[in-house]
Amino acid sequence: MGIDSTIVGQVGRQLGAGSVEVFVERLIGPGTAPAAVLTTANQAPIGMQELPRIEEMYGVDDLRNGDIVAIHSDGVVNTVFREGSANNSLFVTEQCNSHCIMCSQPPRRVSDIEYLLSVNTRAVRLMPKSLATLGITGGEPTLLGSHLAGLLRLIRVELPSTNIEILSNGRRFSDDSFTAEVAEASAELLLFSVPLYSDYAPRHDYVVQSQGAFAETIRGLYSLAMHGIRRELRVVVHQATYRRLHSLAKFVQRNLPFVEHVAFMGLEVTGFARANEAKVWVEPQEYAKPLSDAIDHLTAFGIPVSIYNVPLCLLPAELWPYARISISDWKREFLESCSKCSVRESCGGVFGTSSRQSSFIQPIL
Ligand code: SF4
């Protein structure tokens, strides 16, 4: 393989079926030398056998020019950026300070921040300047500490007009000096999506499995607002949250009217959600009424609302205007029966990653 340390590069010239060159520079001219080659064959093409290379690699044909890959010294290749996708995110850590009962990507106690930062820093420099939106996700991105502001500063320099959307539990922003540091790095074009699961503190703390989390998140939301950083709320709707959706909506309207959007989200049954299925699974029909009440309340006070990750056939028709196509393109699927459905084009489909789908999915004819 010849890979001594991680190579982060952009997929460039195709070398016929099953082989691609990877470049570590943004501009690929005729004289640019490749940094590595990836191939499905058992040997790299002639003349490239001295290059760092991964042979007999599965999935090379799925790579497109402009994709950015990280080639690790153990031979693992990750796609860090997919050209043409609207769902590109930097994955910055597997660690988290919460432990949500329905987390789809369970956190791990690993020391990964510096390593992923080095990969992401090189990837950002290769991304197209025209990129509309870049996510930052984990784990919990604020566990990067000061590195988060550093990463934001780099993105602002390399991708000055790109919107940055960060999924964060918001707890770290209860420290106002941390919020100030992030705001100084990039208050512009920055949005934090912060989960809030209940108006009742012990219920929120139960869902995130961390005492005091509710108070920290609320303080964090106020701090983000004070520093002029855009913020929205995300509410995953499941068995432990759906009964109080209307109360939560009233709480948001009275205490957090400065959030710019509230997204109610269907469950992805994987990770902890799969392990805790008996505690979290609920059929969308069961929460249709509290969801509808919550949406009526928020919209009556001018707070924009969306529903993510719930297919149209599981929602009452009056909620369809709020339903978005929100599942990331690489996870979004349709069932066989969806081919007959009259609203398939406007439906967001289901998580292909979920171990359980609603038994009430049926085509709308
Ligand atoms: S049947 Fe399929 S396409 Fe139609 S609304 Fe349900 S999930 Fe969407």
- Domains of the chain with bracketed CATH: 7-80 (no CATH), 84-327 (3.20.20.70)
Report the pLDDT value the prediction gives residue 363, as an integer from 0 to 100. Answer: 97
Q: Are 163 and 189 in contact (CB under 8 A)?
A: yes
| pLDDT tens string 54-100 | 888 888 888 888 999 999 989 899 999 999 999 999 999 999 999 99
CB of 364 within 6 A of ligand 1: the answer is: yes
Report the pLDDT value the prediction gives residue 43, as an integer from 0 to 100. Answer: 81
CB of 347 within 6 A of ligand 1: the answer is: yes
DSSP β-bridge partners for residue 236? 265
CB of 315 within 6 A of ligand 1: the answer is: no
Atom of ligand 1 lying closest to residue 337 CA: 1
The pair phi, psi for residue 113, each rounded to 5°, is -65, -50
Report the pLDDT value the prediction gives residue 112, as an integer from 0 to 100. Answer: 96
Distance (Å) from CA 172 to ligand 1 centroid: 39
Torsion angle defined by CA atoms of residues 326, 327, 332 and 335, in that order, rounded to the nearest 10 degrees: -70
- Closest residue by Cα to atom 1, ligand 1, is 363
Report the pLDDT value the prediction gives residue 29, as an integer from 0 to 100. Answer: 62
Record the tokens describing residue 279, joined without a space.
């505690």
CB of 215 within 6 A of ligand 1: the answer is: no
How far is residue 88's CA from residue 330's CA, in Å, rounded to a whole number?
11
The segments of the chain whose pLDDT lies below 50 read none
Q: Are 188 and 163 in contact (CB under 8 A)?
A: no
How many C-beta atoms lie closer than 10 Å to residue 11's C-beta?
22
Report the pLDDT value the prediction gives residue 145, as an integer from 0 to 100. Answer: 97
Distance (Å) from CA 63 to ligand 1 centroid: 29
CB of 72 within 6 A of ligand 1: the answer is: no
- Closest residue by Cα to atom 3, ligand 1, is 344
CB of 363 within 6 A of ligand 1: the answer is: yes
HEC letters along 197-243: CCCCHHHHHHHHCCCCHHHHHHHHHHHHHHCCCEEEEEEECCCCCHH
DSSP 87: -
CB of 266 within 6 A of ligand 1: the answer is: no
Record the tokens describing residue 102, joined without a space.
């329905």
Tokens 């920055």 found at: 190
Distance (Å) from CA 328 to ligand 1 centroid: 17
Burial class of residue 335 (count of CB atoms within 10 Å of its CB; 0-12, 13-18, 19+): middle
Distance (Å) from CA 282 to ligand 1 centroid: 18
Distance (Å) from CA 309 to ligand 1 centroid: 12
Q: Is the dihedral of CA 152, 153, 159, 160 positive or negative?
A: positive
Q: Is 279 left (phi over 0), alpha (psi -120 to 50) or beta?
A: alpha
Q: What angle do CA 33, 39, 43 make, to 5 degrees?
A: 95
CB of 334 within 6 A of ligand 1: the answer is: yes
Distance (Å) from CA 340 to ligand 1 centroid: 9
Q: Which amino acid is located at 22 in the chain? A: V
Record the tokens describing residue 121, joined without a space.
């820093």
